[in-house]
Amino acid sequence: MAGKFEIKQSASGKFHFNLKAGNGQIILSSEMYETKSAAENGIESVKKNAADAGRFEKRESKNGDPYFVLKAGNGQEIGRSEMYNSDGACQNGIESVQKNAPDAEIVDTTQA
């Protein structure tokens, strides 16, 4: 099963998206956007930048858990992963984004 982007609307009216792997697990989450079209632009940016391994930056949380962010060409963060329990799992997450993002369908779960 292929990955998919899900666009959601928060209670405050802002929009965000999650990239889910074929198994339904969230592998990348976006920031909050003011408009749905801005969130859709964010998805296009993820699709475009996911193929470039240099756009991924591995980081470590305050308690030492590894995670990664995906950055656009201008250096702006466009998505962030969950926390992982090992560097290997974090690397697998990056590879999953690279595999799933380019061809993922977009599912709009908002009412707007």
Domain boundaries, the chain: 4-108
27-40 confidence digits (pLDDT tens):
999 999 999 999 99
With beta carbons less than 8 A apart as the criterion, state whether 26 and 36 touch: no
Please check the confidence at residue 41 and state whether its pLDDT lies above 70: yes
Considering the entire predicted model, what is its pTM?
A: 0.92
Of 17, 33, 37, 24, residue with least CA distance to 79: 17
What is the architecture, at CATH level 2, of domain 4-108? Roll (2.30)
Q: Is the pLDDT of residue 93 over 70?
A: yes
Q: Note the pLDDT of residue 111.
A: 67
pLDDT of residue 2: 80
